[in-house]
Structure 1
């Protein structure tokens, strides 16, 4: 069974990779490993070593700390906070939202606020 920290780190790797528009193969190539290993890291099936996390952080343009953002507490099994940005649908929604011209995007934002209050 995967540790909650390994699952969280894997989700953060996937989240950042998606935000950059990279495939698992592209990230694997940038870090010199096979894409299957990226799959295992992202699912939490395999733990990411410190040196590998360093390479992944460099390839994704983030600090090591990025992968641990959202973890609470320092107990043996920390609680992972809800991270909607880690969901593929949310990421695609944000990308699509920012592709809309600004004037229409602001009107859409106002509409979303009205609908959420209903």
Structure 2
């Protein structure tokens, strides 16, 4: 069966996830984003899920409202033979950063200016992850 070319696809899902990520980092509600764009919050939900495609002019508007370049929405995609593919670590990173804990951790971590403290936190997290892996065996 031939696929409908107007149907949303993996790239639409990726772009939608980037919209959701940026909106969450700005602590903006779907309703507020919808107001800024002139659409309902339900439409924003559909964009973020990738079930509705985001047109070029809407993507342009999103980049201004969310204060990012248009290319931000495509970060993490790479050209691959026969189409586009996400980089190897993208699913892990995106799943984490889209979770409420991931967003909160990224925001808090980015406020730490001392690189030595940031390194010690990273070492702590790695140690805890290794201990958790041993405990679950």
Q: Given that residues 3 and 77 in structure 1 are in contact (C-alpha distance below 8 angstroms), is that contact kept between their aligned partners in structure 2?
A: no
Tell me, in whole angstroms, the C-alpha distance in 1 between the residues paired with 2:78 and 2:37. Answer: 29
Do the aligned partners of residues 70 and 113 (structure 1) sit closer, same or farther apart at CA in structure 2, a change above 3 Å counting? Answer: same
Q: How many residues align?
A: 118
Cα drift, residue 76 of structure 1: 4.9
The alignment yields a C-alpha RMSD, in angstroms, of 2.7
Provide TM-score, normalisation by structure 2. Answer: 0.71
* Structure 2 unmatched ranges of 5 or more: 1-6, 132-137
* Structure 1 unmatched ranges of 5 or more: none
More displaced stretch, 88-97 vs 5-14: 88-97
Query: For 1:18, which of 18, 24, 30 is the aligned residue?
Result: 24
Is 2:55 the partner of 1:44? no
Do the aligned partners of residues 30 and 54 (structure 1) sit closer, same or farther apart at CA in structure 2, a change above 3 Å counting? Answer: same
Provide TM-score, normalisation by structure 1. Answer: 0.81
